[in-house]
Homo-oligomer: A and B are copies of this chain.
Amino acid sequence: MLVRRLTTLRQVRLSSSIANHEPAGPSVKTPLPGPNEQALRKRMDNHFQTISMNMFVDFEKSFGNYMVDIDGNAFLDVYQQISTLPLGYNHPELVEFARSDPMITSTVSRAALGAFPRSDFPDAIEKALVSIAPKGLKNCQTMLCGASANEHAIKQAFIWYQTQKRGGKAPDDEYLTSCMEQKLPGTPNLTVLGFQGGYHGRTMATLSVTRCKTYQKVDIPAFQWPIAKYPRYKYPLAENKAYNDAQDKECLEDVELKIKEQKEKGHDVAVVIAEPIQSEGGDKYCSPQFAQGLRDITQKNGIVFLVDEVQTGGGATGDFWCHTHWNLSTPPDIVTFSKRMLTGGYYYADHLRMTEGMRIFNTWVGDPAKLLLLTKVVEIIKRDHLLEKNREVGKHFQSELSKLAAHHPNLLSTPRGMNTFAAIDLPNTEMQGKFTKACHLNGLHVERCGAQSLRFRPSLVYEKKHADLTIELLDKTAKQFEK
């Protein structure tokens, strides 16, 4: 069925195709979870725990901005899996591209990209990654996901830091011998500085600089790496300038203090890792001046400034890279990505290039099929001016979200965002859960972040009519709570 349907779409321009082939609108006909959902979940749970799952999706019927579950319920999906679909479900051009020979051989005979890359790998790197690289960063490294991107980016920063300490020299015998016993100097006491509320992944090192949810951290041993305060602004920003400026100052002072404390312990901070928007943490923003402060502090102390754009990158905020709007005096040293970039990886500055091989390496070093698919995604985004269109839709969405909050002042507050990357707050965690569930029943698939926020992460095929429908469904849901 999919074949027939999509084949007829091949000649259709994107702008019309989404409109023509999505369901007419959301429609939830069963209780949630529906009967098929319950039965299949029971079956799966015999072998694969279902306690964390949300719902089974019918990926053959999901299209554009609409996700269809296995009970036939259709949701307007402003979460797009976990903010991982850059162009919505089953984009016809991507479906066609996925059937091409390079995609098929990439899938069947997966290259170990670090050792035996495909002959089209350099071209794919140039098209998919270099062509949209953040200003000032022309080197890149692919990885499999956001956590592995952060793990290896941090490792590359550590290698640079230690190489600097050695005056640019490769590790000598003393280093090589001691590292196998995990002793100094081969195994250094270097640390990474993270932030309260930050999220960088679920591996043990990335969890050590994550301070988001308790269930992510409890019972898991961690590196004792320092954590500094991240700004907590009052909204609307313009009306709370003095308070917010003071937040920036206080947090930057805390960063400097933590760096000093670590140095005194002989545990140099080699990396500062920060998100432009703390996304899992509840869409907490930081100002350009705070970011510039971080850039200044890291530069002054010879520390690598790593900007984690796993959730904000790849066009999510109306730019390919959210940190662009900081207008930093010098670029970050590393920018990590994943999610709607399809492949994990990172960009890095020239001075971080390594002189010895095999130090940043693993079996697959990413996935060629994901990188190739990204070349097509980037081509479509550029050709169809999707970022420009997204900014138009985003401006409208932000304005409507503010009006919505004003209409429901006891329920909804602090509308905020960058274009369609947006959030709004509920009064507390309990209401956050209830409101999210009620939205689902009304056909809007939205998700939570932080302790009391709803997050919006639509793809780049989200148009004005989808934004209007989102607001309509939120309004309908809010009214149900106010009855």
Contacts and interface: CB of A to CB of B under 8 A. Distances in A.
A354 B51 contact: yes
A58 B191 contact: no
Contacts of A175: 218-219
A55 B176 CA distance: 27
A84 B148 CA distance: 19
B48 A139 contact: yes
How many copies of this chain? 2
A47 B349 CA distance: 10
A354 B45 CA distance: 12
Interface in A347-385: 353-364, 367, 369, 373
A58 to B, nearest CB: 5
Nearest to A142: B48
Contacts of A117: 44, 53, 56-57
A191 B221 contact: yes
Interface residues of A, number: 127
B187 A217 contact: yes
A290 interface: no
Given A147-B362, A363-B145, A105 B90 contact: yes
A35 B369 CA distance: 26
A118 interface: yes
A201 B40 CA distance: 34
A204 B48 contact: no
A224 interface: yes
A45 to B, nearest CB: 9
B104 A95 contact: yes
A205 interface: yes
A415 B201 CA distance: 42
Contacts of A288: none
A56 B118 contact: yes
B94 A47 contact: no
A89 B118 CA distance: 13
B95 A53 contact: no
Contact of A202 (B138, B190, B361): B361
Interface in A154-195: 154-155, 158-159, 161-163, 171, 175-177, 179-180, 182, 186-191
A363 B189 CA distance: 30
A112 interface: yes
8 contacts: A44-B122, A47-B129, A59-B109, A81-B109, A98-B107, A176-B214, A187-B218, A203-B205
